[in-house]
Amino acid sequence: MTVSEKLHRYALPNGLRVVLAPDPTAPVVGVSVHYDVGFRSEPEGRTGFAHLFEHLMFQGSESLEKLAHFRHVQSSGGTFNGSTHPDYTDYFEVLPSAALERALFLEADRMRAPKLTEENLRNQIDVVKEEIRLNVLNRPYGGFPWILLPPVLYKTFPNAHNGYGGFEDLEDATVADCASFFDTYYAPSNAVLTVAGDFTVDEAKALVEKHFGDVPARPRPDRPSFAEPPPSAELRAEHPDPLAPLPAVALGYRVPDPVTEIDGYLAHLVLAGILTDGDGSRLQQRLVYGDRLVTDVNAGCGLFGPFEARDPDTFTITAIHSPDVAVDRVLAAVDEELDRLASAPPEAEELAKVTARWKASLHKEHDRLVSRTLALGSFELMFGDPTMIDALPERIARVSAEAVSSAAKSLRPDSRAVLTVTPAGGDQ
């Protein structure tokens, strides 16, 4: 029996959507809450605020002191975390099945009233700033390409700004900003609760009602469209990186909307695999082993990974190359390989290798309880369809060679962003 055949979906009177996916094969449960707010929803002048608020949700509540969430989960033998994405923020726990009620209580408790204080805010601003130093400012190729490429490809603030945040914006955040953000976006009507693993449906429904049923209802915020026209010409920018040992280049293209054009999106996903997945892939063979233009090349559908964002989203090709190789030589080779695919679809064997690899990786990923729980919640939130967890592997397997060829044809030089990274004092 598939995951979809065992799913139970419903909503509480306060608007909270609930997905239950029982699986008795192991005595563990996963609990996640996805809120329909990511860094594309944060206001101008408050870059990094969605991620900062994610940190604040772990700093206690009106009924639990700071670190209580950590202590209750870990003392149960469980794990927990949260993450911020372009269009949603998630929180999750994986625990022994006997601790299901504890996880539900903890998530309902902070959905009701997190502890928003000046002390907690200042503390977490410092934590986030240190995270930025470690992951971006003091690391070679930090922010490449996920922070650096969007301002080249996109023009509007939601799509182009740095979701990690600038230090000045983070330091200017106030407790009043936090309260407003919580009231607007952390309403139960703007969230999805997912429970997966070893439980009975009747038990879970009773516990969900007990802990979430009295969370006060608030209006679900309107979600604006973040759509903007694709570029009408090639857009270029350069970023100096004093820590980078070699030059790098990132190409960004727009991809079909995964919500309304899922088949076109999946064709781009497969195209990325044909281009750079494995030593036998097109760009690995041409750029790394053949012409020896680059030391590393990667392609991906979705700037933050597949199914991480609604429209607009980005197809990326990144490469690191020698200072002796002009970036335009790399671009010309990439364009030639895309033109070959556009004019001659991949052979059946080449296509089958990529789709089989994707199919196997999805099955393997969703076999892990935490990945399955998070996928069910994000698919419900983003696409209104958690059954995608079962449908996607077969749907990817059905992507045709002609669809991949069409995807390659859409990656045009006159409608892309080109970001070059130059080492300190280096010229290309």
Check residue 428 and give its pLDDT.
Answer: 47
Decide if pLDDT at 426 tops 70. no
- What is the C-alpha to C-alpha distance for residues 339 and 334, in angstroms, rounded to an integer? 9
Helix, coil or strand: residue 289: helix
**How confident is the model over 35-59, as a mean pLDDT?**
96
* Helix (H) or strand (E) run with residue 313 in it: strand 313-321
Decide if pLDDT at 367 tops 60. yes
Check residue 5 and give its pLDDT.
Answer: 84
Decide if pLDDT at 278 tops 70. yes
Beta bridge partners of 234: none
Contacts (Cβ under 8 Å, ≥6 apart) of 388 = 379
pLDDT digit string (tens) for 292-329?
999 999 999 999 999 999 999 999 999 999 999 999 99
- What is the C-alpha to C-alpha distance for residues 192 and 318, in angstroms, rounded to an integer? 34
Check residue 3 and give its pLDDT.
Answer: 84
Which runs of consecutive H residues, i.e. helices, occur in 154-259? Answer: 157-160, 167-172, 175-185, 201-212
CB of 178 within 8 A of CB of 170?
Answer: no
Decide if pLDDT at 345 tops 80. yes
- What is the C-alpha to C-alpha distance for residues 345 and 196, in angstroms, rounded to an integer? 40
pLDDT digit string (tens) for 253-274?
999 999 999 999 999 999 999 9
The residue whose two tokens read 């149960």 is: 76
* Helix (H) or strand (E) run with residue 79 in it: strand 79-84
Decide if pLDDT at 12 tops 50. yes
* Buried b or exposed e, range 73-91, using 16+ CB within 10 angstroms: beebebebebebbbbbbbb
User: Which of 325, 307, 145, 157 is CA-nearest to residue 237?
Assistant: 145
pLDDT digit string (tens) for 178-231?
999 999 999 999 999 999 999 999 999 999 999 999 999 999 999 899 999 999
- Considering only CA atoms, give the Rg of the chain: 23
pLDDT digit string (tens) for 101-157?
999 999 999 999 999 999 999 999 999 999 999 999 999 999 999 999 999 999 999
Check residue 62 and give its pLDDT.
Answer: 87
pLDDT grade for 163, boundaries at 50, 70 and 90 = very high
Q: What mean pLDDT, rounded, does the chain reach?
A: 95
Contacts 24+ apart (CB under 8 A), 383-390: 383/258, 383/259, 386/4, 386/7, 386/9, 386/19, 386/21, 386/194, 387/3, 387/4, 387/7, 389/3, 389/4, 390/2, 390/3, 390/4
Domains and CATH numbers, the chain: 4-212 (3.30.830.10), 235-345+400-423 (3.30.830.10)
End-to-end CA distance of the chain: 57
CB of 139 within 8 A of CB of 62?
Answer: no
**How confident is the model over 41-50, as a mean pLDDT?**
94
- The DSSP string of 364-395 is HHHHSHHHHHHHHHHHHHHHS-TTHHHHHHHH
Check residue 2 and give its pLDDT.
Answer: 83
**How confident is the model over 16-25, as a mean pLDDT?**
97
Contacts (Cβ under 8 Å, ≥6 apart) of 395 = 262, 263, 266
Check residue 425 and give its pLDDT.
Answer: 61
pTM for this one? 0.95
